[in-house]
Amino acid sequence: MNTAHQTTAFLRSLRSVRRFSPQPIPQDVLLDVLEVARWTGSSKNTQPWHVIVVRERETLTRLATCGPFAGHLAGAQAAIVLVMEDAHRSFDEGRLAQNVMLAAWAHGVGTCIGSLYPEANTARAMELLDVPAKRGLHTAISLGYPADDQALRLSANPAGLTSVPIGRDDLSTLVSWERFGRSGASS
């Protein structure tokens, strides 16, 4: 397999991980992930973000209560919280989140996005992390080594029984050529 195919295979292998092992993440791994974050592209290279690395168990546990789907933060070994220049930077925020997740996965560290909302939860998270009111905060990414092989397939629900779909729709249902709804690759 050539390098390009190895890279695209790696990109396709990223999965959300919501159950983590107690194994700590080495500092050099975190720093490498943060370097990738630093080099993430942004609109006009404005780099409209600041990131907060959270490793204190109590803070992770409290942060996990700041969103209806953020519970996995409580079991993570760390979280990277994306603090945006303001609340209107969702495109750059998405680019940053994806790069953080891929950089972590390159080290075998699983991740999952925790969205911090509604507004009252966002305010609690901002207060917890001393984020200035003019900034935007919506995303906290949990990090940790997967708890086991099934952590790539199972959610973090208490019973641990709900499977997360792994496959993807066929390209023919997702891609049109030249016009919406037109099938077949053009030559």
Token pair of 87 as six digits: 């609340």
Give the domain ranges of the chain: 16-148
Query: Range with the lowest mean pLDDT among 11-25, 32-46, 52-66, 152-166?
Result: 152-166
pTM of the model: 0.89
Q: What is the reported pLDDT for 160?
A: 47
CA atoms within 13 A on the CB side of 21: 13
Q: What CA–CA distance (Å, rounded) separates 32 from 100?
A: 10
May I ask the CATH class of domain 16-148? alpha beta
The predicted model gives 167-176 an average pLDDT of 84
The predicted-structure confidence for 87-109, as pLDDT tens digits, reads as follows 999 999 999 999 999 999 999 99
Kindly provide the residue ranges of all beta strands, DSSP E only, lying in the chain, ordered along the sequence: 49-54, 78-84, 110-115, 136-144
Please name the residues in contact with 89: beta carbons below 8 A apart, sequence gap of 6 or more: 48, 49, 136
Query: What does the DSSP 8-state code read for residue 162?
Result: P
The predicted model gives 5-27 an average pLDDT of 94
pLDDT band, very low/low/confident/very high, at 166 (cuts 50, 70, 90): low
The predicted model gives 69-98 an average pLDDT of 97
Query: What angle in degrees, to the nearest 10, is found between the helix axes of 27-38 and 90-106?
Result: 150
pLDDT band, very low/low/confident/very high, at 186 (cuts 50, 70, 90): low
